Amino acid sequence: MAKLFQLKNITKRFGSITAIDCVNIDIEQGEIIALIGSSGSGKTTLLKLLNAQHEADAGEILLLQKPISSFNHKQLRQTRSKIAFIPQDLGIVKNLKVFQNIFLGKVGLTSTLSMLWKFLFPPKSEILKVHKLLERTGIADKLYSITSTLSGGEQQRVAVTRALYQEAHTILADEPISSVDPARARSLIKLLIEISRENNLTLIMSIHNIELAKEFFPRLIGLKNGRVQFDGSSVNQAELDDLYQLSEEQLTQ
Ligand SMILES: Nc1ncnc2c1ncn2[C@@H]1O[C@H](COP(=O)(O)OP(=O)(O)OP(=O)(O)O)[C@@H](O)[C@H]1O
Ligand SMILES: [Mg+2]
């Protein structure tokens, strides 16, 4: 099978900090991956390299065999538009209606003026499309609700629906469960995995909860100090202990 992403010796620095250090990872379309590692290990940086928000300082990222670094402005825009990013705070505008938040999934490919027009005079066909997607994520009755009136779990569903509307091939989710209760965290993970499997989407989620990562994700990538510590379908306690062990330097900081 053709690889979707290939990271070849990727390094990303911020000043004197090496956030990602010579990383090699291959990802196939449809893979479901958990990124684990302690705070500062490079998870968010890796996700942002994948959707070309960050540029690597060394190495090469290939998307369907083509180096991202060779893309022109238009190609980069198109690339980003097909990779949904769900940030920790879900990236939802709370005082907009649910359908408007979902329309924002295509903001990367739409001018501000036409987005405004779409907000004010939503085309029936688009509303029908959003309604269908909301049926799949279980909140079709909230189509016209102001998003802030939805529960936290329902707002998570808005973020997932937005990714579907975007017609992305990949969902990058950056700790989207850290601020919710355990039951909601489980249901969001289940929903994301189910939706990804149904649509053959690639899902890469950074996650601090190891138990949930082990239970739901068929591939686990452990990052430590910007390096891949392990990459496989299971992880043992010794590997986990090592992953979270602080270096002497970190302990004395
Ligand atoms: N924009 C930035 N400018 C400077 N340093 C940064 C920037 N982004 C990340 N870093 C640094 O790079 C390292 C990796 O950060 P990153 O955010 O990728 O970690 P993380 O694994 O996502 O952590 P967390 O679990 O806390 O979200 C950290 O040392 C961080 O301080
Ligand atoms: Mg992070």
CA of 19 to the centre of ligand 1 (A): 6
In a domain, 200, yes or no: no
Please give the average per-residue pLDDT across 4-23, as a whole number.
97
Q: What is the average pLDDT score of the chain? A: 91
Residue 128: domain span: 85-167
- Ligand nearest to the CA of residue 173, numbered in listed order: 2
Pairing of strands 58-63, 202-206: unpaired
In a domain, 101, yes or no: yes
Q: What is the pLDDT of residue 248?
A: 57
CB atoms within 10 A of CB 205: 28
Q: What is the pLDDT of residue 172?
A: 96
* CATH number for the domain harbouring residue 142: 3.40.50.300
Answer whether residue 179 shows pLDDT above 70.
Answer: no
Q: What is the pLDDT of residue 44?
A: 95
State the pLDDT confidence band at 253, using cuts at 50, 70 and 90: low
Is the CB of 117 inside a 6 Å radius of any atom of ligand 1? Answer: no
What is the sign of the dihedral through the CA atoms of 29, 139, 34 and 75? positive
In a domain, 136, yes or no: yes
- Residue 158: strand, helix, or coil: helix
Judged on CB neighbours under 10 Å (0-12, 13-18, 19+), 108 is middle
- Which of 10, 23, 38, 41 to probe ligand 1 with, by most ligand atoms within 8 A of CB? 41
Please give the average per-residue pLDDT across 135-154, as a whole number.
93
Pairing of strands 83-86, 170-174: parallel
In a domain, 108, yes or no: yes
In a domain, 17, yes or no: no
In a domain, 187, yes or no: no
Structural domain count of the chain: 1
| pLDDT single digits (tens) 154-168 | 998 999 999 999 989
| pLDDT single digits (tens) 197-210 | 999 999 999 998 89
In a domain, 174, yes or no: no
Is the CB of 105 inside a 6 Å radius of any atom of ligand 1? Answer: no
In a domain, 20, yes or no: no
Q: What is the pLDDT of residue 15?
A: 96
Is the CB of 14 inside a 6 Å radius of any atom of ligand 1? Answer: yes
Is the CB of 250 inside a 6 Å radius of any atom of ligand 1? Answer: no
Q: What is the pLDDT of residue 187?
A: 84
Does the pTM of the predicted model rise above 0.75? yes
